[in-house]
Amino acid sequence: MFFLKKIFQKKLNVDETEDLLFENGVEPKFAELIISKIKDNTSNEEDVKKVIKKELLTKFAEKKFGGFSPQSKSLYIIAGNNGSGKTTFIGKFINLFQKNGLNPAVIAADTFRAAAIDQLEHFTKKFEVPIHKGNNMEDPSAVIFQGIDKMKENDVVIIDTSGRQHNNKNLMAELKKISNIISKKSDQFNLIQTFLTLDANTGLASKHIIEGFREYITLDGIILNKVDSNAKYGALLTIINDFEIPVVFEGYGEGMSDLREFQFEEYLDRLI
Protein backbone atom coordinates (compact mmCIF):
# COMPACT_ATOMS: atom_id res chain seq x y z
CA MET A 1 0.00 0.00 0.00
CA PHE A 2 1.03 3.58 -0.72
CA PHE A 3 3.63 2.18 -3.04
CA LEU A 4 4.43 5.48 -4.73
CA LYS A 5 5.73 6.92 -1.48
CA LYS A 6 8.14 3.98 -1.17
CA ILE A 7 9.22 4.26 -4.79
CA PHE A 8 10.04 7.95 -4.45
CA GLN A 9 11.53 7.86 -0.96
CA LYS A 10 13.78 4.91 -1.68
CA LYS A 11 14.45 6.07 -5.25
CA LEU A 12 13.68 2.61 -6.61
CA ASN A 13 14.77 1.74 -10.13
CA VAL A 14 12.44 0.04 -12.62
CA ASP A 15 13.30 -3.52 -11.52
CA GLU A 16 12.87 -2.68 -7.87
CA THR A 17 9.61 -0.90 -8.61
CA GLU A 18 8.35 -3.94 -10.48
CA ASP A 19 9.25 -6.18 -7.54
CA LEU A 20 7.46 -3.90 -5.13
CA LEU A 21 4.33 -3.86 -7.27
CA PHE A 22 4.33 -7.65 -7.66
CA GLU A 23 4.73 -8.02 -3.88
CA ASN A 24 1.66 -5.83 -3.58
CA GLY A 25 -0.32 -8.20 -5.77
CA VAL A 26 -0.32 -5.92 -8.81
CA GLU A 27 -0.38 -8.10 -11.91
CA PRO A 28 2.18 -7.43 -14.68
CA LYS A 29 -0.14 -5.58 -17.05
CA PHE A 30 -1.09 -3.05 -14.37
CA ALA A 31 2.50 -2.84 -13.17
CA GLU A 32 3.52 -1.92 -16.72
CA LEU A 33 0.88 0.78 -16.90
CA ILE A 34 1.99 2.23 -13.56
CA ILE A 35 5.69 2.12 -14.42
CA SER A 36 5.08 3.88 -17.74
CA LYS A 37 3.33 6.72 -15.91
CA ILE A 38 6.20 6.97 -13.42
CA LYS A 39 8.69 7.17 -16.30
CA ASP A 40 6.68 9.94 -17.94
CA ASN A 41 6.45 12.02 -14.77
CA THR A 42 9.58 11.35 -12.78
CA SER A 43 9.69 14.65 -10.93
CA ASN A 44 6.76 14.80 -8.56
CA GLU A 45 5.10 12.05 -6.57
CA GLU A 46 1.77 13.88 -6.31
CA ASP A 47 1.59 14.43 -10.07
CA VAL A 48 2.35 10.79 -10.80
CA LYS A 49 -0.31 9.74 -8.34
CA LYS A 50 -2.87 11.96 -10.06
CA VAL A 51 -2.02 10.59 -13.50
CA ILE A 52 -2.19 6.94 -12.41
CA LYS A 53 -5.42 7.51 -10.52
CA LYS A 54 -7.00 9.26 -13.49
CA GLU A 55 -6.01 6.46 -15.82
CA LEU A 56 -7.46 3.75 -13.55
CA LEU A 57 -10.63 5.71 -12.77
CA THR A 58 -11.25 6.03 -16.50
CA LYS A 59 -10.44 2.40 -17.15
CA PHE A 60 -12.86 1.19 -14.47
CA ALA A 61 -15.51 3.86 -15.02
CA GLU A 62 -18.16 1.30 -16.02
CA LYS A 63 -17.63 -0.98 -13.02
CA LYS A 64 -20.06 -1.23 -10.12
CA PHE A 65 -18.85 -0.88 -6.54
CA GLY A 66 -20.37 -0.82 -3.10
CA GLY A 67 -24.04 -0.21 -3.63
CA PHE A 68 -25.06 -1.65 -0.31
CA SER A 69 -28.25 -0.40 1.27
CA PRO A 70 -29.57 -2.09 4.39
CA GLN A 71 -33.17 -3.11 3.87
CA SER A 72 -35.85 -5.15 5.49
CA LYS A 73 -36.73 -8.62 4.23
CA SER A 74 -33.25 -9.41 3.02
CA LEU A 75 -31.20 -12.58 3.33
CA TYR A 76 -27.46 -12.92 2.97
CA ILE A 77 -25.44 -16.09 2.50
CA ILE A 78 -21.80 -15.63 3.51
CA ALA A 79 -19.47 -18.10 1.81
CA GLY A 80 -15.75 -18.41 1.30
CA ASN A 81 -12.55 -20.33 1.86
CA ASN A 82 -11.50 -21.45 5.32
CA GLY A 83 -10.41 -18.56 7.47
CA SER A 84 -11.31 -15.86 4.97
CA GLY A 85 -13.20 -13.93 7.61
CA LYS A 86 -16.83 -15.03 7.14
CA THR A 87 -17.81 -15.23 10.80
CA THR A 88 -15.99 -12.05 11.76
CA PHE A 89 -17.67 -10.25 8.88
CA ILE A 90 -21.04 -11.47 10.15
CA GLY A 91 -20.34 -9.85 13.52
CA LYS A 92 -19.58 -6.58 11.74
CA PHE A 93 -22.61 -7.01 9.49
CA ILE A 94 -24.95 -7.48 12.48
CA ASN A 95 -23.50 -4.30 13.95
CA LEU A 96 -24.11 -2.42 10.70
CA PHE A 97 -27.75 -3.53 10.44
CA GLN A 98 -28.43 -2.64 14.05
CA LYS A 99 -26.91 0.80 13.55
CA ASN A 100 -29.40 1.21 10.72
CA GLY A 101 -32.32 0.31 12.96
CA LEU A 102 -32.89 -3.20 11.59
CA ASN A 103 -33.12 -6.40 13.59
CA PRO A 104 -31.00 -9.15 12.05
CA ALA A 105 -30.92 -12.84 12.93
CA VAL A 106 -28.30 -15.44 12.17
CA ILE A 107 -28.32 -19.05 11.05
CA ALA A 108 -25.26 -21.14 11.85
CA ALA A 109 -25.01 -23.45 8.88
CA ASP A 110 -21.48 -24.52 9.78
CA THR A 111 -22.41 -27.79 11.46
CA PHE A 112 -18.99 -29.41 11.10
CA ARG A 113 -17.22 -27.63 13.89
CA ALA A 114 -18.71 -26.88 17.29
CA ALA A 115 -16.12 -24.12 17.65
CA ALA A 116 -17.57 -22.39 14.59
CA ILE A 117 -20.96 -22.11 16.27
CA ASP A 118 -19.34 -20.93 19.52
CA GLN A 119 -17.54 -18.21 17.61
CA LEU A 120 -20.75 -17.07 15.95
CA GLU A 121 -22.63 -17.20 19.26
CA HIS A 122 -20.03 -14.92 20.77
CA PHE A 123 -21.21 -12.26 18.31
CA THR A 124 -24.93 -13.00 18.57
CA LYS A 125 -24.74 -12.73 22.37
CA LYS A 126 -22.77 -9.53 22.16
CA PHE A 127 -25.37 -7.93 19.89
CA GLU A 128 -28.32 -9.80 21.42
CA VAL A 129 -29.61 -11.21 18.16
CA PRO A 130 -31.33 -14.58 17.64
CA ILE A 131 -29.34 -17.49 16.30
CA HIS A 132 -30.63 -20.74 14.86
CA LYS A 133 -28.17 -23.60 14.96
CA GLY A 134 -28.38 -27.20 13.94
CA ASN A 135 -26.97 -30.28 15.55
CA ASN A 136 -23.48 -31.53 14.96
CA MET A 137 -23.09 -32.80 11.37
CA GLU A 138 -26.69 -31.98 10.48
CA ASP A 139 -27.28 -31.14 6.82
CA PRO A 140 -26.71 -27.37 6.55
CA SER A 141 -29.59 -27.02 4.08
CA ALA A 142 -32.01 -28.52 6.57
CA VAL A 143 -30.75 -26.20 9.29
CA ILE A 144 -31.26 -23.22 7.01
CA PHE A 145 -34.73 -24.33 5.95
CA GLN A 146 -35.88 -24.52 9.57
CA GLY A 147 -34.02 -21.38 10.56
CA ILE A 148 -35.70 -19.23 7.92
CA ASP A 149 -39.12 -20.31 9.18
CA LYS A 150 -38.18 -19.36 12.72
CA MET A 151 -36.95 -15.91 11.74
CA LYS A 152 -40.00 -14.46 10.08
CA GLU A 153 -40.08 -11.56 12.56
CA ASN A 154 -36.55 -10.47 11.73
CA ASP A 155 -35.73 -7.90 9.07
CA VAL A 156 -32.55 -9.58 7.94
CA VAL A 157 -31.33 -13.18 7.97
CA ILE A 158 -27.59 -13.79 7.73
CA ILE A 159 -26.29 -17.28 7.09
CA ASP A 160 -22.81 -18.34 8.16
CA THR A 161 -21.49 -21.26 6.13
CA SER A 162 -18.51 -23.45 6.83
CA GLY A 163 -15.20 -22.67 5.18
CA ARG A 164 -14.68 -24.57 1.96
CA GLN A 165 -11.99 -24.82 -0.66
CA HIS A 166 -13.28 -23.92 -4.10
CA ASN A 167 -11.90 -27.14 -5.59
CA ASN A 168 -13.63 -29.45 -3.12
CA LYS A 169 -16.49 -30.77 -5.23
CA ASN A 170 -18.55 -32.19 -2.36
CA LEU A 171 -18.46 -29.02 -0.35
CA MET A 172 -19.18 -26.90 -3.39
CA ALA A 173 -22.15 -29.12 -4.25
CA GLU A 174 -23.35 -28.64 -0.70
CA LEU A 175 -23.20 -24.89 -1.18
CA LYS A 176 -25.23 -25.18 -4.35
CA LYS A 177 -27.82 -27.17 -2.44
CA ILE A 178 -27.94 -24.42 0.18
CA SER A 179 -28.50 -21.88 -2.55
CA ASN A 180 -31.30 -23.98 -4.09
CA ILE A 181 -33.04 -24.48 -0.76
CA ILE A 182 -32.99 -20.75 -0.14
CA SER A 183 -34.48 -20.01 -3.54
CA LYS A 184 -37.50 -22.08 -2.43
CA LYS A 185 -38.05 -19.51 0.30
CA SER A 186 -37.62 -16.54 -2.01
CA ASP A 187 -41.20 -15.34 -1.61
CA GLN A 188 -40.33 -14.40 2.00
CA PHE A 189 -37.59 -11.96 0.99
CA ASN A 190 -37.20 -8.87 -1.17
CA LEU A 191 -33.50 -9.45 -1.56
CA ILE A 192 -31.36 -12.59 -1.45
CA GLN A 193 -27.63 -12.19 -1.95
CA THR A 194 -24.56 -14.34 -1.68
CA PHE A 195 -21.33 -12.68 -0.65
CA LEU A 196 -17.93 -14.27 -1.09
CA THR A 197 -15.33 -13.40 1.52
CA LEU A 198 -11.71 -13.20 0.41
CA ASP A 199 -8.58 -12.85 2.48
CA ALA A 200 -6.66 -9.93 1.02
CA ASN A 201 -3.41 -11.80 1.62
CA THR A 202 -4.44 -14.37 -0.99
CA GLY A 203 -3.57 -11.88 -3.71
CA LEU A 204 -3.97 -12.93 -7.33
CA ALA A 205 -4.86 -16.51 -6.36
CA SER A 206 -8.25 -15.06 -5.41
CA LYS A 207 -9.11 -15.28 -9.10
CA HIS A 208 -9.24 -19.07 -8.88
CA ILE A 209 -11.34 -18.91 -5.74
CA ILE A 210 -13.90 -16.65 -7.40
CA GLU A 211 -13.98 -18.85 -10.51
CA GLY A 212 -14.37 -21.97 -8.36
CA PHE A 213 -17.32 -20.60 -6.41
CA ARG A 214 -18.94 -19.10 -9.48
CA GLU A 215 -19.11 -22.49 -11.10
CA TYR A 216 -21.62 -23.53 -8.47
CA ILE A 217 -23.45 -20.44 -7.26
CA THR A 218 -24.20 -16.87 -8.27
CA LEU A 219 -22.02 -14.39 -6.43
CA ASP A 220 -23.61 -11.01 -5.78
CA GLY A 221 -20.74 -9.36 -3.98
CA ILE A 222 -17.19 -9.70 -2.73
CA ILE A 223 -16.04 -8.87 0.78
CA LEU A 224 -12.29 -8.31 0.99
CA ASN A 225 -11.13 -9.00 4.53
CA LYS A 226 -7.84 -8.37 6.32
CA VAL A 227 -6.83 -5.41 4.19
CA ASP A 228 -5.15 -4.09 7.34
CA SER A 229 -2.68 -6.94 7.38
CA ASN A 230 -2.09 -7.41 3.69
CA ALA A 231 0.73 -6.82 1.30
CA LYS A 232 -1.31 -7.74 -1.77
CA TYR A 233 -3.91 -5.04 -1.95
CA GLY A 234 -3.09 -4.46 -5.62
CA ALA A 235 -4.63 -7.81 -6.61
CA LEU A 236 -8.00 -6.16 -6.25
CA LEU A 237 -7.33 -4.29 -9.50
CA THR A 238 -7.33 -7.64 -11.28
CA ILE A 239 -10.40 -8.93 -9.46
CA ILE A 240 -12.30 -5.79 -10.42
CA ASN A 241 -10.99 -5.94 -13.97
CA ASP A 242 -11.69 -9.62 -14.60
CA PHE A 243 -15.09 -10.06 -12.94
CA GLU A 244 -18.40 -8.26 -12.95
CA ILE A 245 -18.95 -8.96 -9.26
CA PRO A 246 -19.03 -5.78 -7.19
CA VAL A 247 -16.66 -5.46 -4.27
CA VAL A 248 -19.09 -4.41 -1.55
CA PHE A 249 -17.14 -4.18 1.71
CA GLU A 250 -13.61 -4.20 3.04
CA GLY A 251 -12.80 -5.60 6.46
CA TYR A 252 -9.80 -3.85 7.98
CA GLY A 253 -9.47 -5.39 11.44
CA GLU A 254 -10.95 -7.72 13.99
CA GLY A 255 -13.03 -5.03 15.69
CA MET A 256 -16.76 -4.86 15.03
CA SER A 257 -16.51 -1.42 13.43
CA ASP A 258 -13.60 -2.36 11.18
CA LEU A 259 -15.75 -2.56 8.08
CA ARG A 260 -16.20 0.00 5.35
CA GLU A 261 -18.17 0.07 2.15
CA PHE A 262 -15.82 -0.26 -0.76
CA GLN A 263 -15.14 2.93 -2.71
CA PHE A 264 -12.88 2.66 -5.72
CA GLU A 265 -11.33 6.11 -5.52
CA GLU A 266 -10.57 5.70 -1.81
CA TYR A 267 -9.07 2.32 -2.64
CA LEU A 268 -6.76 3.92 -5.21
CA ASP A 269 -5.76 6.59 -2.70
CA ARG A 270 -4.73 3.86 -0.25
CA LEU A 271 -3.08 1.65 -2.84
CA ILE A 272 -1.09 4.18 -4.80
- In the complex, which residues of this chain contact ligand GTP (CB under 6 A)? 80, 82-88, 110, 116, 163, 197, 225-226, 228-229, 251-254, 258
Sheet with strand 247-251: strands edge to edge: 131-133, 104-108, 156-160, 74-80, 191-199, 221-225, 247-251, 259-261
Give min distance, CB of 259 to ligand GTP, in A: 8
Output the residue with the shortest Cβ distance to ligand GTP.
Answer: 163
**C-beta of residue 48 within 8 angstroms of C-beta of residue 37:** yes
What is d(CA 263, CA 259) in angstroms, rounded to the nearest whole number? 12
**C-beta of residue 248 within 8 angstroms of C-beta of residue 260:** no
Give the residue with the Cβ less far from ligand GTP, 30 or 195.
195
Q: Does 133 bind Mg ion (CB under 5 A)?
A: no
Give min distance, CB of 79 to ligand GTP, in A: 9
Give the residue with the Cβ less far from Mg ion, 163 or 221.
163
Give the residue with the Cβ less far from Mg ion, 200 or 240.
200
Give min distance, CB of 146 to Mg ion, in A: 20
Query: Can you list the alpha helix ranges (DSSP code H) found in 1-139?
Result: 3-9, 14-23, 28-40, 45-59, 86-99, 114-127
Output the residue with the shortest Cβ distance to Mg ion.
Answer: 87
Give min distance, CB of 226 to ligand GTP, in A: 4
238 is in the binding site of which of Mg ion, ligand GTP, none (Cβ under 5 to 8 A by kind)? none
What is d(CA 160, CA 15) in angstroms, rounded to the nearest whole number? 44
Of residues 37, 86, 92, 164, which one binds Mg ion by CB under 5 A?
86
- 3-state percent breakdown (helix, strand, coil) of the chain, nearest 5: 50, 15, 35
Point out which span in 78-86, 135-143, 167-175, 252-260 binds Mg ion (CB under 5 A). Answer: 78-86
221 is in the binding site of which of Mg ion, ligand GTP, none (Cβ under 5 to 8 A by kind)? none
Query: CB neighbours of 179 closer than 8 A, spacing ≥ 6?
Result: 77, 194, 216, 217, 218
The β-bridge relationship of strands 191-199 and 131-133 is unpaired
Give min distance, CB of 173 to Mg ion, in A: 20
Give the residue with the Cβ less far from ligand GTP, 87 or 95.
87
Give the residue with the Cβ less far from Mg ion, 36 or 82.
82
Point out which span in 56-64, 82-90, 209-217, 228-236 binds Mg ion (CB under 5 A). Answer: 82-90
Q: What is each CA distance from 247 to 5, 117, 168, 202, 226, in whole angstroms?
A: 26, 27, 24, 15, 14
What is d(CA 199, CA 232) in angstroms, rounded to the nearest whole number? 10
Residues binding Mg ion (CB under 5 A): 86-87, 116
